[in-house]
Structure formats: structure tokens, C-alpha cells
Structure 1
Amino acid sequence: MASAFPYRLYLVISEEACQGRNFLEVAEAAVQGGVDLIQLREKNDTTEAFLKKALQLKEVLQPYNVPLIINDNLEVAQKSAAAGIHVGNSDIAPTKIRTAWESCRILGYSIEYLEQLYNEQTYTSDYLGISPVFDTATKTDTITTWGLDGIEKIRASTQKSLVAIGHMKASNVKKVIEAGADCIAVVSAICAAKNPKSAAKELRLEIEKGLKSRTVKPN
């Protein structure tokens, strides 16, 4: 699965999260620092406004060959010809997305309890969002706070690529990767950082440390 989902640092961005700065500039700086996948999440925008931002962001990302993922809006994902879409339990089902959008290249699905590992939606998805790993102010409607033990349990139960999100920061991402996550997703750790490029570089460095220590651990 790793070859189908080679990404390590995943930025979830919105205009609001950038706290008054131009979200396109924040996104480009983040990519220059090591972000290799970006999700645009605009829950409160009209479809028209969301699509406009998606097309602008896609244009910024294209020279860097960084894929664009759209959060929970199939119409925007299709009309912007994004690389993929990410959905949760209360959103459109991955099985329906596969039927409606055959050219979708990256389909992500957030899981909230272990039983979901064995349903059709999980099997249909390309990667699983483990959300949240730690409590976070940006996500208040979740069922499970997974923690490192939760990541280890999920890793032992599936070969799917795992994207960890929820209070991810430079001081904890190494441990999260060591526990079995393949990729780290962040919002405020980059969007709210004084220097998004430097913040991304630091996160990427810690991810690489985690991957390195994971490979030398005995099974």
C-alpha cells in the first residue's frame, strides 16, 4: 500500500486556519518546506466559492506535483479535477464516490472506531484518517481519541495507509510514526505558524526520524 500512497506530510488548509494570511501563499510555503499532499477544507463556503479556491490552489500546487484533495464535496472535487477527496462517517460514502467519480485517484476515509476497519467503506478507500490521535480544538465532534495505543492497534489490523491527525506537532510526530502511522496531517502546526515553510521542514524532519527508527526496530 505504501507505493500507492507515498505521502508523508499532509496539510489540511482553509482560509480561516491561515488567520488572515493568504492561504495560497501559506500552502506554497508549506510545500517548499516538505508538505507533499494538501487537502482544502472549506466547510462554510458556498460550492462556487469553494470551487474557486480549489482551482486557485490547484494552480499553485501543479508546478510542485503536489496532489489536491477536497474535503467532503464531491462536486468541487470533480469540477476542479482534484486528485481526490476525503470523507468521514457523516459524509458521502466511499462506495458511492467510486461509482460517481471513476477517475478519483486518492480516496480517504476517517475512522472513529475499530469495527470500521472491516466494513466496505474502509476496503474501498485508499487511506484511512486516524482522527484524532490527540484531543484538538479544531475537531470537537469525534467519538474516539486514539492515542499511540490506538494507532498500534489499527496498524496491527490493516495494511491500509494510515494518516494521523489531531494535535500533531513537531514534539510528537516521531512517536506517532513509530506507532505505525504512514503520514502526518496537520492544520494549525503549519497554518498558524509564523513561518509555514520552517514549520513544515521541522515536521518533515521528525517524520523521517520516526520512519528511520521504525525500520531498525525488531519485529
Structure 2
Amino acid sequence: MSNPYQLYLVTDENQSVETLVNVVKAAVAGGVTMVQVREKHGDIRSFIDRAAAVKKALKGTSVPLIINDRVDVALAVDADGVHLGQSDMPVITARELLGRDKLLGLSIENEQQLEQAESLPIDYIGLSAIFATPTKTDTVRHWGLNGLAWALQRSSYPVVAIGGINQSNITGVSRTGVHGIALVSAICHADDPEQAARQIKNQLVS
């Protein structure tokens, strides 16, 4: 796969395991290229159970499984990588635990973090948030399309855009040349996640 970040699904922690697995299978059938399991409220055991269920659903698809925040969960299920926030485990420590062959992403919320990321052993950055979004209320800033274009010029890493992206604005986001677009609600809450993923994929500017 030339660009694993292109259509990046972030799961909804409020969905049951059964719904989660069905959404992931449908989304991948529709063209999703990477899946991140996010679990903000649950205990560690339920996180591992959910991650393992998604890993099983992804078997044979070549779609990478990324775990949000938790290096221990990623190691427990042998996921393909971890995505860290600014208040999670330090990147250097995470890289030591994961080894070189796992993907490591880092959320970037301002210009200073973007600059600091250049010297870190990561594989990609998640630029947050592009637009206002109901799923994330503690956002430091909204980058907008101009901010996204600015960050793309300054980062030597692939950039995944996240936050408030939906079918009404996705073409504009894609036109910036961003490497990937991360979505939660637009796919997880769609009546038909496969069709939603397919329609979104068709809107991306290659």
C-alpha cells in the first residue's frame, strides 16, 4: 500500500465490541486504509479485548492497527503501532518499548509542538483539530485549511488531519496535499459505514 494514512478511521469508544467490529469490517471494505482503536474511559482489560477483536477483524486485510495512547495494550495484542497525545508516555520511551518496526504517531496541537516533533523518533503526526468538533471539547486551537497547509510545509513527517472533518469539507482538506484524513463520526455513525467510507474515499484528491 502506497499511503497507509490516506483514510484513517478512529473508532468510537462508546460503541459495543460487536458494533465496533462490524463498523471496522464495513469501513475497510469501503476503503479505509488504517484503523486506530481509541478507548478513553474503559479499563485496560476491556481495551485489550476491543483491540484484539479489531485485530481479528483486520486479519488478512493489510490495514494497520494503531492503538491510541496505550503502549502496553499495543504490545499485548501485537498491534502495528501506537498514537500518542501530548500528555501520554514520552515518545522516546514509547519508541524504546515498541522497537523500530512499529508505527508511532503523535498528536500536534500548536506550532511549538510541531517544531519539537521534528527531532522525535516518530513516523507521522496527527494535526488536531482542523475544525471544531463535538468529539473533542478540550482542543487547544483549530488549524483550519490555512494552518494545515502551513504545517504541511514545515513538517518532514506525513501529516494526518483530524477534527471536524466530514463530507462537506473533506475535499478542501484533501486539496492541501495532506497525507491522510482521520475520521470518527463520519464513518462510525453512518447508517452504512462501508458506503460512507467509499464515498469519502472518492472525494479525496489523489
Q: Same fold (TM over 0.5)?
A: yes
Where do residues 193-212 of structure 1 align in structure 2 (5 Å cutoff)?
193-207=190-204, 210-211=205-206
Q: Given that residues 116 and 122 in structure 1 are in contact (C-alpha distance below 8 angstroms), is that contact kept between their aligned partners in structure 2? A: no
Q: How far did 1:19 drift?
A: 7.7
Instruction: Give the superposition deviation at 1:6.
Output: 3.4
Instruction: Kindly provide the amino acid, as one letter, of the partner of residue 51 in structure 2.
Output: A
Range that drifts further, 72-81 or 6-15? 6-15
Percent identical among aligned pairs is 39
CA contact (8 A) 2:4 2:34 kept: no
Q: Which structure has greater helix proportion?
A: 1
Deviations 1:90-147 (A, max 9, x none): 1111111011221552111011111222215763211110111000010111111000
User: What is the match of residue 48 of structure 2?
Assistant: 51
Q: Deviations over 1:135-169 (max 9, x none)?
A: 00101111110000111110111221010011111
Distance 2:18 2:4 in 1: 29
Of the three residues 120, 123, 133, the one matched with 1:123 is 120
Name structure 1 gaps, 5 residues minimum: 212-219
Equivalenced residues, count: 206
User: Given residue 14 of structure 1, which amino acid in structure 2 is its aligned partner?
Assistant: D
Cα contact 2:91–2:120 (8 A) shared by 1: no
C-alpha distance in structure 1 between counterparts of 2:161 and 2:182, whole Å: 6
Q: How does 1:25-174 map to 2 (within 5 A)?
A: 25-119=22-116, 123-174=120-171
Q: TM-score, normalised by structure 2?
A: 0.94
Deviating runs (4+, > 6 A) in structure 1? none
Question: RMSD of the TM alignment (CA)?
Answer: 1.9
Larger CA deviation: 94-103 vs 125-134: 94-103
| SS across alignment from 1:153 | helix
1:185 equivalent in structure 2: 182
Contact 1:94/1:121, CA 8 A, preserved across alignment: no
Change (3 A) 1:77 1:19: closer
For the residue of structure 2 that corresponds to 1:22, the secondary structure is helix
TM-score when normalising by structure 1: 0.88
Structure 2: give runs of 5+ residues left out of the alignment. Answer: none
